[in-house]
């Protein structure tokens, strides 16, 4: 498995798109800090970018890589290697290379602007780790979709739709249902609803760590009480872990049965 991971990892790291992705984050980080110089403000702006962009890039890369390396996968399948090993190795290759681009791309500018001397290092690590988690989650979901659809166009369509659902439509439905049921107590609904969507969950976990959380008012206070406790923290991180694992398990099971 390590061999397959190594191969797809080095293949991806040498590819132009990983470099473009890395360069994009480098540029974003430097420009942001050059314009603002305030690390904690930079984190707020980056949060917006990360919770939308990492899932999108993860989705597109995942689908693209799977379809493009189909011939290589078929070649591997002819070898005496376990299927789960092949697919899991490829999955790790994609998601780790993307996460590395994110971490290096944002880490360098923040380090250059004195991350260790400021008090925001915990928030920054939270930002990076939720970005990495989102990458892992959405790459897994994307490869799943690609496995289920041999038709490239269909696969791409579903993948984009999946991203759109989590990033936009889900929030829309949440807003709509909250407005319809405005007469009922909604605090717990808001908590549970945002807990179930990994993008919303990461957004709120980061928001609560920043000054801006005061805007959330008493709903925010409820969230703060939940996420502030050890139970809340463990629950939210295990939610992200859960979101990472079930697509992987689905992916491996599908891969074992699929006819190539």
For the chain, report the end-to-end CA distance as a whole number of angstroms.
20
Rg (alpha carbons) of the chain, rounded to whole number: 20
Angle at 197 between CA 142 and CA 176, to 5 degrees: 120
User: Which residues lie below 8 Å from residue 202, measured CB to CB, with a gap of 6+?
Assistant: 50, 51, 130, 131, 133, 134, 240
**DSSP string of 68-84?**
HTHHHHHHHHTSS--HH
Q: In this complex, which beta carbon is closest to other proteins, that of residue 13 or of residue 216?
A: 216
- In the complex, the smallest distance separating the C-beta of residue 15 from other proteins, rounded to whole angstroms, is 28
Is 240 in contact with 197 (CB distance < 8 Å)?
no
Q: In this complex, which beta carbon is closest to other proteins, that of residue 219 or of residue 238?
A: 219
- In the complex, the smallest distance separating the C-beta of residue 173 from other proteins, rounded to whole angstroms, is 9
Q: In this complex, which beta carbon is closest to other proteins, that of residue 48 or of residue 151?
A: 48
Residues of this chain that interact with other proteins (CB under 8 A) are 47-48, 52, 167-169, 171-172, 174-175, 178-179, 182, 186-187, 189-190, 194, 200, 203-204, 207, 211-212, 214-221, 223
- In the complex, the smallest distance separating the C-beta of residue 191 from other proteins, rounded to whole angstroms, is 8
Is 66 in contact with 90 (CB distance < 8 Å)?
yes
- In the complex, the smallest distance separating the C-beta of residue 175 from other proteins, rounded to whole angstroms, is 6
Q: In this complex, which beta carbon is closest to other proteins, that of residue 116 or of residue 184?
A: 184
Closest CA to 200 of 227, 228, 181, 221: 227
CA dist 3 → 88, 99, 151, 209, 247 (Å): 11, 19, 29, 40, 23
- In the complex, the smallest distance separating the C-beta of residue 67 from other proteins, rounded to whole angstroms, is 26
Q: In this complex, which beta carbon is closest to other proteins, that of residue 150 or of residue 177?
A: 177
């Amino acid at each position: 498995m390590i061999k397959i991971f190594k191969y797809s990892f080095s293949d991806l790291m040498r590819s132009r798109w990983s470099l473009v992705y890395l360069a994009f984050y480098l540029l974003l980080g430097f420009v942001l800090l050059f314009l603002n110089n305030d690390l904690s403000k930079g984190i707020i702006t980056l949060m917006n970018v990360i919770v939308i962009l990492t899932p999108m890039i993860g989705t597109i890369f995942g689908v693209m890589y799977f379809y493009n390396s189909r011939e290589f996968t078929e070649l591997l399948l002819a070898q005496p290697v376990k299927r789960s090993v092949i697919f899991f190795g490829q999955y790790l290759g994609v998601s780790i290379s993307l996460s590395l681009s994110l971490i290096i791309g944002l880490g360098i500018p923040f380090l250059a602007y004195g991350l260790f001397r400021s008090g925001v290092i915990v928030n920054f690590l939270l930002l990076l780790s939720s970005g990495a988690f989102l990458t892992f989650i959405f790459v897994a979901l994307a490869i799943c979709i690609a496995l289920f659809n041999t038709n490239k166009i269909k696969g791409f369509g579903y993948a984009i739709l999946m991203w759109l659902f989590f990033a936009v439509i889900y929030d829309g439905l949440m807003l709509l249902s909250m407005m319809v049921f405005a007469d009922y107590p909604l605090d717990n609904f808001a908590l549970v609803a945002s807990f179930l969507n990994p993008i919303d969950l990461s957004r709120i976990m980061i928001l609560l760590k920043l000054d801006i959380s005061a805007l959330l008012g008493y709903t925010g206070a409820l969230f703060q009480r939940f996420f502030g406790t050890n139970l809340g923290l463990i629950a939210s991180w295990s939610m992200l872990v859960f979101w990472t694992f079930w697509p992987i398990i689905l992916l491996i099971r599908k891969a074992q049965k699929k006819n190539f």
